[in-house]
Amino acid sequence: MNKKIKNRDSKIVTVKHIVSALCLSAAFISGITVQAKGKDSVSLADNLAKVSEVGQYAEVKADCMQKVFENLTKADSDYSKVKKDYTEYVAISERIEGNSIIITAQAKTADYESLNGTWTYALEGDYIVNTYKTSEMFGYTLGLYITQAVSDYLEMDYELVNGYMSAVIKKNLKSDYYSMTIDDAAETISQKIYVAGKYDLSVIDNLYIDKDSLDLLDTLTATITNMATGIGKVSATTFGSKDSFQIIIGEYGDVTELSYKSILEIVKKAQPIGYDEFLKNYTKLEAVSTDYYTVTFPTLAEMKQESETVSEKDKFVKVVFKPELNVKAGTAKKLSLKGETVKKWKTSKKTVATVSKGKITALKKGTATITAVLKDGSELTYTIKVSNSPALTVGGKKYNKKTTYTVKKNKTLKVKITGKASSVKNVYTSADPTVAKVTSKAAASTVKIKGLKTGKTTVTIKVNGVKYKIKVKVK
């Protein structure tokens, strides 16, 4: 589906790891309950009980920060990959001082000065703590890498830990493992990451992407928009606009009912063309293809062709809303654009398909683009493919333009039409109406040619604008 619109807010960054991390940061931090910190304000970890009883916490080992530091800086860590990829643009260095890990970033060009800063991750009791300015999103990204290093140190799966952290923030879950506190007055965000023992992550087993996870997604318009979000074991990325929209769900381990529920919530919020059909008819997680949407289950290899950063531990579902109506001649379909004011409808090929007030009528074989011009001047397009042209059966046999059909004087030759559009009138002519002519009404789907006198003539029947010449002999 082609679009003639302006991209609302598109930025391209070339280093894939920073892009992924910053996208995750934006998605992850959305949904935080913002609270100005005062004397009565405390973090989730200080104020709330554990999710469930997991036994006595282990003591923090003396070499904890050294081990976390080693995991952070190992050659195959995401942090090391980002550091290497960004060498040309930003000098990133790290050191350990006592029980603190200190990371510094210094831009080499003006374009990357927003990444400048120094961040300290200090061990305080059972937690690694860090405070950074709300404007320093790179500081938050580095915090993700610290969490990854902690996960490795505690022999936990980072993907599950990250999903748990997202759930804590977006669902306000009770947790002694992780907390994030926003101080509006100081314009800072503080994180606390538990480091004294493994986490009980069972709370995420039933979580899916619901309305609390969709703060970054608005009801779609003609403008392209995208989103990344996740909670628990389920992550989602979306891209597109009202008339061409894509959802990719990744679920840790395997796709389950959690993926299905997540898809429904995203479709309800985004409302692409065909969403009402989807919500009505897509009742279980399965591969389907309709005029409005397709659902597939891409393999890991297929997903890696689209992105190098997909998780090898996930299974995937892909939903594409790209209305492409495949119909037969004579079909009429109503295209409804809920929430939009359409100024004008138009078609690229009037001989293939017409449109009036959103009602599309298929006429003959071919492809046409139906365009809705909206009130704000933007356009939504819709592809219609007509698989055939109208067909005739003359005297009980398939129409052949080379055949001469015989009819007796004062008798009729029946012509049956398939693929006639009910809103389009037939047009009849006869080269010699004194020999034979059509006696049927213009709306007929069975046309009668009456023989009047001995002789030959050609009767032309125009159906949906397509002319058919029938050679007639009257005897």
pLDDT of 222 reads 62
Residue scoring higher pLDDT (49 or 421): 421
Concatenated DSSP letters of 4-33: ----SS----S-HHHHHHHHHHHHHHTT--
Q: Range with the lowest mean pLDDT among 48-52, 353-357, 381-385?
A: 48-52
**Contacts by residues 69-74 (CB-CB < 8 Å, ≥ 24 positions apart):** 69/94, 69/96, 69/101, 69/149, 71/148, 71/149, 71/150, 71/152, 71/153, 72/101, 72/145, 72/146, 72/148, 72/149
Rounded Cα–Cα distance for residues 231 and 213 (Å): 7
Instruction: Give the pLDDT band (50/70/90) at residue 5.
Output: very low
pLDDT of 221 reads 66
Q: Region 242-268: what's the mean pLDDT?
A: 94
Q: Does the pLDDT of residue 262 top 50, yes or no? A: yes
pLDDT of 174 reads 85
- Average pLDDT of the chain? 84
Tokens of 405: 């059909």
Neighbours of 135 (CB within 10 A): 11
Q: Region 160-179: what's the mean pLDDT?
A: 90
Q: Does the pLDDT of residue 232 top 50, yes or no? A: yes
pLDDT above 70: percentage of residues in the chain: 85
pLDDT of 325 reads 80
Q: Does the pLDDT of residue 468 top 90, yes or no? A: yes
Can you list the alpha helix ranges (DSSP code H) found in 109-234? Answer: 137-153, 158-171
pLDDT of 474 reads 96
Are the CB atoms for 86 and 18 separated by under 8 Å?
A: yes
Q: Range with the lowest mean pLDDT among 53-67, 118-132, 163-177?
A: 53-67
pLDDT of 216 reads 64
Rg, C-alpha atoms of the chain: 33
Rounded Cα–Cα distance for residues 381 and 4 (Å): 9
CA dihedral sign of residues 361, 362, 364, 369: positive
Residue scoring higher pLDDT (334 or 61): 334
Record the pTM: 0.67
pLDDT of 34 reads 32
Pairing relation of β-strands 342-347 and 366-374? antiparallel
Q: Which domains does the chain have, with CATH numbers?
A: 16-39+58-200 (no CATH), 211-322 (3.40.1720), 325-386 (2.60.40.1080), 391-474 (2.60.40.1080)
Neighbouring-strand partners of residue 190: 131, 181
Instruction: Give the pLDDT band (50/70/90) at residue 326.
Output: confident
pLDDT of 317 reads 97
Q: Does the pLDDT of residue 466 top 70, yes or no? A: yes
Q: Region 142-151: what's the mean pLDDT?
A: 95
Q: Region 378-384: what's the mean pLDDT?
A: 85
Contacting residues for 11 by C-beta, under 8 A, at least 6 apart: none
Contacting residues for 296 by C-beta, under 8 A, at least 6 apart: 287, 317, 318, 320
Tokens of 77: 């860590």
Rounded Cα–Cα distance for residues 370 and 372 (Å): 7
Q: Region 438-442: what's the mean pLDDT?
A: 96
Q: Region 264-288: what's the mean pLDDT?
A: 92
Q: Token pair 């606009």 is at which residue?
A: 241
Q: Does the pLDDT of residue 46 top 70, yes or no? A: no
Q: Region 319-323: what's the mean pLDDT?
A: 87
